[in-house]
Chain A
Amino acid sequence: MNNLTNLLTRAFFMSTPLVLGALGEVIAERTGMMVTAVEGIFLIGAWGGFIGAYISGNIWLGFLIAMFCGLTVAALYALTTVYMNQHQIVMGTAIAILVSGFCTFFYRVIFGIQTTPLKVLVLPNMEIPILSKIPFLGAIIFSQNMITYCTYILVPIVFFIIFKTSLGLTLRSCGENPEAVDAAGLNVRLVRFGAVLVAGSLGGIAGAYYSLCNVGMYTSEIISGRGWIAFGICFLGNWNPLGALIFGIVFGISEAIGIYVKALGLSTIPSELFSALPYILVIILTVCRKELRVPNRLGAKYLKEN
């Protein structure tokens, strides 16, 4: 029982940045923009978050800077894809390479060569008064950190915005038929640009989660593919914030189980299998989930000649 609680606590803990990243991705993809720069955004978030927190000594300032960094990279991505009509997938690749070079380079510029790791104190967990006393669930869900709680709160908010407000209607319409949005007198490019910026901000925070909530340090391999998992979760969650939450937790659990089995040190099952588990899961789930409703113009350029 205790072991299970620990495992699930870890699962929820690890699912937070995935959900956060996927939420941003949902918002952007609803407008037709795949934020393929997600790896780069996560990475620069982790980088900026750490540097901000280390230098200022204030972890929240770190998150703010991470958000700003993610936003900047997203702005670069949106500028080139939305306003300069470059291809989304291609641009994402270019940005991933650029950001990885940038972060490593400037980490050294800022800190020089260190022989012991620079660290910050990670964001402490915070038990929510009453709720954390609920048996089982209390320990798993209500004894996490602030960012995790914010993520939980963000899910219904994003859901509400997307499905119940005029802004959401505009967002969704941009992904379905941008010409119609244009004809209705709205600025498609601005909407897309804004949505990508939001995705970038959330992605930046998600990245910072790894450096500021998880390990309290920055390394160039800190993201290693997790941004893509968030990207996949957005697909699997059917471009729905609730779906993103559910699949984010599914992946948190799968990662936790993978770790659990690996930690048992069984030599009979190859541990590589568990390392590959999240990726295999994405493949299987994408193939199996037939009812996916892709935004009609996801990934397509919107060329407007006037």
Chain B
Amino acid sequence: KESKAEAQESVKEGDNSDYAGMKIVLILPGSIDDQSWNASNNAGAKQCDKELGTKIEVVESVPVEEFEQTFTEYGEKGYDLVMSAGSQFDEACAAVAPQYPKTVYTVINGTKSDSENMVPVFPKEYEGSYIAGIIAGYTTKNGNFATMGGESNLAMVHLLDTYEAAAVEVAKSRGIADAKANRSFLNTWTDVSIGKAMTSQMIDNGADTVFCYSNEATSGAIQATAEKKAKFVGFAANKNTESDCVVGSVDMAWANVYPWIIKGIKSGELKGAQEVGVKEGVFETILTDQCSDECKAAVEKATEDITAGKLDLKQYFSN
């Protein structure tokens, strides 16, 4: 929220022409209408254009084999800032960035910073998912949670870990002693059918609260949840409007973060690997009326605790 205010200030100050002169590109691994990761990053770029007057070029659907080439291309063209969204860009970025010291490379979701001009921004997704877990804990009736991820990478495992921990803890506190979570991986980000079939199977297996973090496949999961009359907790985008079965979403509001990044880089304040989380306003929790007041309170408290650094979420990591 803070950054937004700041941004508005700067617009007033009228120095946005500075930003307009910046050559910025955002490289996305998927299609900007994937309704998830790519879409929300694209929204971030659009927010900057609006707020700061930048003209960010967005390059979508860049296949893995072209990452290095693409980074090189924009280094060659002398861009000021090359942003990319996805940890899979880390290595390619590390390989290219040192050759173009004048260009700043930012990998959203990245962690690698080998050279001066690499400014990865890592969202602590596990913080957001912890909050999502709390929502789930208050939603469940039988304490049986289904969790799904697009593929099993470390960040995914961690965020599912905290989600499950929170959900089970809350459910137990509500007197559901045998609360448990069941986790599986779709092995696809995009196949809606598989998302749907897996979800309905997991609900058949007893789950009543579903969490699924992948791209297009998530829609399949929501669809199945609605059909099977279970509940869904959205993540990484605002899924509340998609179906009544979504009780709440923890949105990754890149629109809040992108201007902050660009300003930081412009001013030269932002250096080295960055981690952003609840505190920086990456996560926006949007609850529906289906959530109880108790739940709302718990979410608020958790948000405060995390912001204040009172919660050690890493304790929940399974590895």
Contact = CB atoms under 8 A, between A and B. Distances in A.
Q: Are the chains A and B members of one assembly?
A: yes
Interface of A: 3, 6-7, 10, 14, 104, 107-108, 111, 113-117, 119, 122, 210, 214-217, 219-222, 224, 226, 255-256, 259-260, 262-265, 271-272, 275
B205 A263 contact: yes
A116 B187 contact: no
B274 interface: no
A115 B200 contact: no
A161 to B, nearest CB: 31
Given A115-B35, A255-B197, 14 more contacts: A3-B205, A10-B197, A10-B201, A111-B33, A115-B39, A116-B237, A117-B219, A117-B242, A215-B223, A221-B190, A222-B193, A224-B190, A262-B198, A271-B184
A215 B39 contact: no
User: 8 tightest CB-CB pairs across the interface, nearest first?
Assistant: A221-B190, A263-B201, A265-B184, A219-B216, A215-B192, A6-B204, A115-B39, A263-B202
Interface in B201-222: 201-202, 204-205, 216, 219-220
15 contacts: A113-B33, A113-B42, A115-B33, A116-B237, A116-B238, A119-B219, A210-B193, A215-B219, A215-B223, A216-B223, A221-B192, A255-B197, A264-B182, A264-B184, A275-B187
Contacts of B270: none
A95 B33 CA distance: 24
B44 to A, nearest CB: 12
Given A117-B219, A117-B242, A262-B198, A219 B183 contact: no
Contacts of B202: 263
Contacts of B187: 271-272, 275
A107 B33 CA distance: 10
B244 interface: no
B51 interface: no
A221 B216 contact: yes
A6 B188 CA distance: 23
Contacts of A221: 188, 190-192, 216
Among B192, B219, B237, B238, the most chain A Cβ lie within 10 Å of the Cβ of B192
A271 B205 contact: no
Contacts of A265: 182-184
B231 interface: no
Contacts of B242: 116-117, 119
B185 interface: yes
Given A108-B33, A262-B198, A271-B185, A215 B190 contact: no
